[in-house]
Structure 1
């Protein structure tokens, strides 16, 4: 670690900076929603382009199918993500109600759960009892601790609408990129497909780079992995389209 990075970390871990950071309300991470929508959008439209090119269809067919699937699948992805996140939210709400009821009906049993949770973390004796007393003295902290430790739930409540929105936007914006060359009539179908392939490859690689950079893993490796996954999906679509064309002739 270089000296400037070390100094930056030291500044971030001063008591006043730590207190300010912990006082902030955690923001939901939208990267997973955007990556989900972006990758699926690009795969969807480029797979259509690959299959149509392999089957010998026209650029107009690529545009028609691509735009129709872009909108329909974008809405489908958004709805699916909304339902998934909404299910998580309902689970968290139900778990909170259960813990509130248990604390009301069997408080000593819930205190024992807190005691065993922190005992498993290595606390014992007076230190353990002090932690138990502190946690159970605050009903909100008590419930939040049980949700985190027993159910593995995050303290940041999920937002189904926001997740659906960002998935839809990423799907539409990124998914439209492989279709752009087919809007250029000056290029023949082969050149349109080549440019579309290059754009799709750039998109897949860029998404992987961003993932690697944000999650502090190797950006190059993440980029190549995402590019390989997207390329495999497109290759399957091309082979299916080409196989149909060979089997049944011009479509």
Structure 2
């Protein structure tokens, strides 16, 4: 049976691939924003329907949720990503200072780090010499190996933009289908399709089968949607009992 490989392993192909900057993935930001957009917007629709309120209320609350909650999520993601980037730069500055003040100690750290990876003897000393020959490479290696941080921090602006875009695009689906198709059933079906699609697409970056990943995301999303509906229904029942 022929085995399909993800990329070529010729010398030229390897040289070209390694010469490129490593790509930064914003998959988490898209998935995070998309799922939250569908859940919160459908929660608005389901809770309003459960409370037996008018379609006008769905429109107002739904649009308010898309703008306000979407912006809040984007802002939160921006701040969190910026904090990670600031931490990377802080530790990079710390390592550069240590290299300047105690180079022998930092060299020993490199030696022990790669010794722990199985290198020894002349091979280990060669690695230490190569890494410590360039101060920038030395400091970045220490930040990556000692603190476990990613060597290429994400852009806070792009992370926030991905989250907001996914939130708005996916969050529109429950709102548009409820108001356009005129009912909760089409809205539930469309929302379920989006949940399943997000999970299925996500499987491209995992070892999970697409249908299993889709069903997992669908299950999580529909549980959240059901909770929102029953909260609205329960409040309506409570108000009716109080008025009786």
User: How does the TM-score come out when normalised to structure 1?
Assistant: 0.92
Structure 2 partner of 1:88: 84
Q: CA deviation at 1:4?
A: 5.7
Q: 1:63, 1:182 within 8 Å by CA — same for their partners in 2?
A: no
Q: Secondary structure at the match of 1:28?
A: coil
State the alpha-carbon separation in 1 of the partners of residues 236 and 118 from structure 2: 66
Structure 2 partner of 1:241: 232
Structure 1 partner of 2:195: 204
1:93-139 CA-partner distances (Å, limit 9, x unpaired) = 00000000000000000000000001101111111111111111111
- 1:20 matched to 2:16: yes
Q: Which 4+ runs in 1 deviate beyond 3 A?
A: none
Aligned-residue Cα RMSD (Å) equals 1.6
- 1:163 matched to 2:159: yes
Kindly tell me: are residues 182 and 217 of structure 1, through their superposed partners in 2, closer, same or farther at Cα, counting changes over 3 Å? closer
1:142-187 CA-partner distances (Å, limit 9, x unpaired) = 1111111001111212200010011111111110010112333x73
Which 10-residue stretch deviates more, 146-155 or 211-220? 211-220
Structure 1 partner of 2:110: 114
Count of paired positions: 242
Structure 2, unaligned runs of 5 or more: none
State the alpha-carbon separation in 2 of the partners of residues 111 and 181 from structure 1: 62
Q: 2:177, 2:190 within 8 Å by CA — same for their partners in 1?
A: no
Q: CA deviation at 1:16?
A: 1.1
State the alpha-carbon separation in 1 of the partners of residues 82 and 73 from structure 2: 14
- 1:59 matched to 2:58: no
User: How does the TM-score come out when normalised to structure 2?
Assistant: 0.95
1:57-77 CA-partner distances (Å, limit 9, x unpaired) = 112111111111111001000
Q: CA deviation at 1:27?
A: 2.1
Q: 1:52, 1:241 within 8 Å by CA — same for their partners in 2?
A: yes
State the alpha-carbon separation in 2 of the partners of residues 21 and 61 from structure 1: 53
